[in-house]
Amino acid sequence: MGEISTSNRQITLYYSSKSIRAKQTLIYAKAEGLPIYEIDILKNKLTGTQLVELADRLNLELADLVNQQHPAYKLKFEHHNLSTNDWIKMIQHNPEIMKQPIALRGDITILIETPTDIIKI
């Protein structure tokens, strides 16, 4: 399939270390004793293949993986209709605009809306 490996034994969490929701999700998951493998998207640049695969796993278009309401997006960009490659470059150069946290376990992938969503996986 793709470049992202998953396990039924642990949850892989893609998140921004600057995100309050992500921090709350990590605290909640650890308090529940869930095995978490953390990937901070601000420190670990995601490849184009990983971004496309995350979007596919969430049944989203790549453009929908961008939080166009994020202050960094509003400051730097206008609403665009871009190619997949352009969206990839935009996220790679501005990872803070990616919707997150995203949790993966086995074949299940969810976009965390509230910290307690982590238990759904």
Q: Which of 120, 100, 117, 20 is nearest to 54 (CA)?
A: 100
- 98 occurs within a structural domain: yes
The domain tally of the chain equals: 1
CATH number at residue 37: 3.40.30.10
Give me the pLDDT at residue 70, please: 82
Q: pLDDT tens-digit profile of 63-73?
A: 999 988 888 88
- Residue range 86-111: mean pLDDT, rounded: 95
pLDDT band at 2 (very low <50, low <70, confident <90, very high): low
Counts for the chain of helices (H) and strands (E), in that order:
4, 4
Q: Domain containing 74: what range?
A: 11-114
- 47 occurs within a structural domain: yes
Indicate yes or no: pTM above 0.85: yes
Place of tokens 């790679």: 92
- 119 occurs within a structural domain: no
Q: pLDDT tens-digit profile of 18-77?
A: 999 999 999 999 999 999 999 999 999 999 999 999 999 999 999 999 988 888 887 787
